[in-house]
Amino acid sequence: MTSLDKPTTEDTSADDARAVTEAALFEAFGGVRGMVETVLPGLLFVSIYTVNKDLHMSAIAALAVALVMVVVRLVMKDTVKHAFSGVFGVAFGVVFAMMTGNAKDFYLPGMLYTLGLALAYIVTAMAGVPLIGLMLGPVFKENLSWRTRNPGRKKAYTKASWAWGLILLGKSAILFPLYWWADTTQLGWVLVALKIPPFLLAVYLTWVFLAKAPPPIDVFAEMEAQERAEEERKAAASAGE
C-alpha cells in the first residue's frame, strides 16, 4: 500500500465521527425496532377497521399489541421509552375515539402531537435553542456545551431542527385536510404510509448535518479529568506537607 492509499488520520477521525453520529441517532430514535413499534398499532387498527368497521375491536387490538411490545421489552430488559410512548399515543387515540364514537378520532391525538412537535422544532430553532440539540446533546455526552462552546454543532442542530419542523409540518398539511374530507380507512392508510418515509428523511438530514459538524465536546470526560487533576493536586499537596 502506498502513502496515497493509506487512510489519513483526518479521514479516520471523520469516519469515526460519522460512526458515532449514526450510533447516536440510532439510539435516540429507536432504530428499526422503534419504527416497527410506531407503525404496528396504527396498521393493525386500520387493517381491522377496513375489514369489519368495528371501532371497539380495532381499538382494543391496537392497544393490546402496543402493550405486548412493552412487555417484550421489559422481559428482554431493553429500553422501553419508545414502546411506552407508543402505548400512551395509542391509549389517547383509543380513549378519544371511544368518547366521540368516531373512528377517525383514533388518529387525532397523534396528528395534533405531530403538529405541535413541528412547531416546537421551528420555534426552538428560531430561538437559538434547537430542539434536536436538546435531545441529542446528552446522547453525545456534550449536554448543552454546543450552545456556547461549539458554534459549528449549534448551526448543525439548528439546520436539523428546521428540517424536522418543516417535514412534520408538511406531513400535517397532508393529514389534517384528510381528517375532514376522507373516511377512516383512507385517512388510516395514508397515515400509515406517511409514518416511516418522513421520519427517515428527517433522520438522514440530521445525520448529514451532524456528520459535517465539528465533533461534540465530551463534558463528562472533562469533568472526570478535572476530578482526577484535583485529586492529584490534593495528593501532591499532602505529600509536600
Domain ranges of the chain: 9-240
Average pLDDT over residues 122-149: 92
Where is 11: in which H helix or E strand?
Answer: helix 9-29
Give the span between the Cα atoms of 133 and 135, in whole angstroms. Answer: 5
Residue 38 pLDDT greater than 90, yes or no: no
pLDDT at 202 over 80: yes
Name the DSSP class of 216: P
Q: 80: which residues sit within 8 A by CB, 6+ positions away?
A: 70, 73, 74
Q: Which three cell numbers stand for residue 125?
A: 430553532
What is this structure's pTM? 0.81
Contact by Cβ (8 Å): 38, 195: yes
In angstroms, what CA-CA distances link 13 with 141, 210, 215? 18, 14, 9
pLDDT for 191 equals 93
pLDDT tens digits for 102-122? Answer: 999 999 999 999 999 999 999
Burial label for 62, CB within 10 Å (0-12, 13-18, 19+), is buried
- What lies within 8 Å, CB to CB, of 146 at 6+ separation is 133, 137, 153, 154, 157, 216, 217
Per-residue pLDDT tens over the stretch 71-101: 887 787 766 666 666 777 888 888 889 899 8
pLDDT for 70 equals: 81
Work out the mean pLDDT of the chain and round it to a whole number. 84
Q: Alpha-carbon torsion 59, 193, 134, 118, what sign?
A: negative
The residues, any chain, with a CB within 8 Å of residue 96's CB and separated by 6 or more, are: 105, 106, 108, 109
